[in-house]
Structure 1
């Protein structure tokens, strides 16, 4: 198919993976699908994962499924490479005619890209064993003629990033209720990873890695940077710092100390994106508003100030009382002190309560955005329920 990256795309990807361009090796990594740990089934040369849950495709099969990786079959591209749409038979998983069988997404490793074999293996090691409604399903892989490919269920709505930040008269903004539902789905996916044995830390939680099915259900994708969490009495694991600017927890950036609370911080950033319709880092915003967390944090403590943060496209769809409660969840998640951040179990329980509550959007009509400067008043606490195993 030829190279699918232009120089500009490579530059964009390099900036988005600002923290590091290389994946830190998963020392002693095991991965997990449930409360029971599993053992890696790699060949001794570390090249191919033999996993009963995955199909080993031939390159010829994937060429047939994607119409030889034709340009009009390409549906996306990223740090890993290009993504192509294809079709396979539901029973045999063999290639089928376009429009018949199961729709799949085939990611093809770009040999000159910023991600490589280690990320490819990490994706297989984790998604090949993990199974949850809020994780994208990995169907199989291919390693042939130096080609490395991954085969997933197809997510027809694309990424949360595309829906949240698109602008134009032809694009309808995501509704408030859908945003809350997306946040809950993504939170459930992270909570599942954090409850696994051994624990899995996602490490690159961001809007572009949250994919949406036909009903806008959120699923986590791209596990190339995931790794196992601390074991025993250890509070963290030490790694090379990788991730995306604006989403990475400050203590992780400063020290390389990684824990599940690092993912919680990233979730808080995405929750702010859902509330505001703004990107985590946006140089197009006015001076002083480039970093979403730094700008929004002082406005998350009361209803009137919160209106400065809320996406104006959502006007009339939500009650400020409920929006404030969700904003306070985000505020707790982005706490500088990782120890006081909630667990993802806490977040899921709280968002579940908000999800079933009936909206009373009329409340916000009596309030207007405030021009106050930063309010130093301490934020009110959110009463999280006790954690529970999912």
Structure 2
């Protein structure tokens, strides 16, 4: 695969997955736009640095919108280079998950290699643990670990049927925090593609990673597996619990490694010694026991004995439940209220559909979902805005012979569109899609339609139906999905009235 540069030349990434096709295009920024956004790489805008280079805060223009972004510039003296740069671009162009940092675009101009990410206002987990000494509660730390674990689980198993991704550099400085403290995995320059249908499959690579988080098995054999990420995540769990660096010179002599120091204390039954004093009084004994058990399993010398990230996430959620139960026993409160407070809803919008509903009812129990704008302004750029006339052509004017089913929202019709442009097509030349049309008598309405566009537009997962686009041509509201030929589960369980009869009863 080749990538066009702004000076008309082409550059080929040397990644292990260069033959794979991107799932969606990644925008290329002109270098002049990067200079404008960073004020010629003004040092006052530096918000961080790493092995790749410095990261700047700046505003970039995307379409008609101005977006605050994190702009990472490759340092000419860095050990990393074109390989890591193109790996990052390709990986993040294939991936989309709420616990992975999003790549907005890239710039490749002469010797400049620049990556543009969504801006994460709360920085890295590492900074809050070791530099800022932020008063992170135990519940916050648990939620951050769960979020990061979900991101890694998606990498390992959720990116495709036959292949997943090994991150290879899991550490607290690569866990970024959204303004509402949602954890997002970042930095995919060292990532490798790995088959998911063979759990024991490994990838032979040069040893790369960060000392302190590096899997001993991988270090001694060169065999990289998904369990190498699990080991590194186990180090992060200890880091969160102890608030100690992965390599800490303040620990006992000859025990600068956090893992060895913590494991020795665990074997001695001296857990109190290793827990961060700021949270020692908050942790439930049962929750602590479960959390330490998970960390120990992640750090097992044998990769085969380590859990999968799916198991890790489930066990962390169980630990969180134990902690919540403990908290509830100390201070009786609505269980529902506590669950709502722990949900990491976005908070970077002006107003919200849910918030408007709450305010109108005087209900303060529900979170203010500010991430869902009350007016329709900036859906995901991956969604196509269809014209009503085009959808009429695609569905033969919503013909009854193409009716697939109905629900509270409205009716669902089969249609055909061009595979590349999504323009209306005929059956023999296009791909099938499912077109859902809001009916005036439907139980759902515009708020639900808007929520569907905003949420599904930013989600991509093999087990979540894919939203291709939308149409709003008042009073019509429609959604266009990938077509699922086997229909829904309830079709096979509860075959009742024909779709034709349902259609007649709705429109009468």
Mark yes or no: TM-score above 0.5.
Answer: yes
1:175 aligns with one of 122, 137, 154: 137
Q: Does 1:216 align with 2:181?
A: yes
- CA deviation vs aligned residue, 1:116-162 (integer Å, no higher than 9, x gap): 11000000010111000010000000111321111000011111111
Which structure 2 residues correspond to residues 2-151 of structure 1 after superposition, within 5 A? 26-28=15-17, 39-40=20-21, 52-89=24-61, 91-92=63-64, 101-151=66-116
Going from structure 1 to structure 2, the CA distance change for 1:69 and 1:181 (only over 3 Å counts) comes to same
Q: How does 1:1-390 map to 2 (within 5 A)?
A: 26-28=15-17, 39-40=20-21, 52-89=24-61, 91-92=63-64, 101-166=66-131, 171-195=133-157, 196-197=159-160, 198-230=163-195, 233=198, 235-300=201-266, 305-357=270-322, 358=324, 360=326
**What is the distance in 1 between the residues matched to 2:267 and 2:260?**
14
Q: Secondary structure at the match of 2:278?
A: helix
CA distance in 2, matches of 1:273, 1:52: 36
Deviation of 1:361 (Å):
6.7
CA distance in 2, matches of 1:320, 1:74: 42
CA 1:361 to 1:300, structure 2 compared with 1: closer, same or farther past 3 Å?
farther
Is the Cα contact below 8 Å between 2:251 and 2:261 reproduced in 1? no
Per-residue Cα deviation, 1:324-376 (whole angstroms, up to 9, x for no partner)? 1101000000001111111000111111222344153799xxxxxxxxxxxxx
Deviations 1:199-232 (A, max 9, x none): 1000000011111111111111110000011466
SS at match of 1:205: coil
Q: Which runs of 4+ in 1 moved over 6 A?
A: none
SS at match of 1:107: strand
Question: Is the contact made by 2:99 and 2:147 (CA closer than 8 Å) also made in structure 1?
Answer: yes
Task: Determine the structure 1 residue equivalent to 2:342.
Answer: none
The alpha-carbon deviation at position 389 of structure 1 amounts to 7.7
Q: Which runs of 5+ in 1 are unaligned?
A: 1-24, 31-38, 42-50, 94-100, 364-387
Whole-angstrom CA distance in 2 between matches of 1:145 and 1:298: 52
Cα distance change of structure 1 residues 359 and 89 upon mapping to structure 2, 3 Å threshold: farther
Please, what is the CA RMSD of the aligned residues? Answer: 2.5
Distance 1:68 1:359 in 2: 53
State the distance in 2 between where 1:84 and 1:112 align.
17
* Residue 315 of structure 1: how far off its partner (Å): 2.6
Partner Cα separation in structure 2 for residue 348 and residue 252 of structure 1: 23
Distance change in 2, residues 1:189/1:136 (3 Å): same
TM-score if structure 1 supplies the norm length? 0.75
Structure 2 distance, partners of 1:250, 1:200, is 20
Aligned equivalents of 1:77 and 1:140: distance in 2? 19
CA contact (8 A) 2:129 2:240 kept: yes
d(CA) in 2 for partners of 1:361, 1:293: 29
Cα deviation per residue 1:239-263 (whole Å; 9 max; x = unaligned)? 1111011111111000000111111
Residues 361 and 280 (structure 1 numbering): CA distance in 2 closer, same or farther, change over 3 Å? farther
Which structure's relative contact order is higher, taking Cα pairs within 8 Å and 6+ residues apart? 1
- The secondary structure found in structure 2 opposite 1:118 is helix
Q: How many residues align?
A: 316
Deviates more, 1:180-189 or 1:70-79: 70-79
* Structure 1 residues 134 and 91: CA distance shift in structure 2, 3 A: same
TM-score using structure 2 length: 0.59
Instruction: Specify the SS of the correspondent of 1:308.
Output: helix
Unpaired runs of 5+ residues, structure 2, are 1-13, 330-461, 465-508
Shift of 1:28: 4.8
Which one has the bigger strand percentage?
2
- The whole-number CA distance in structure 2 between the counterparts of 1:158 and 1:289 is 29
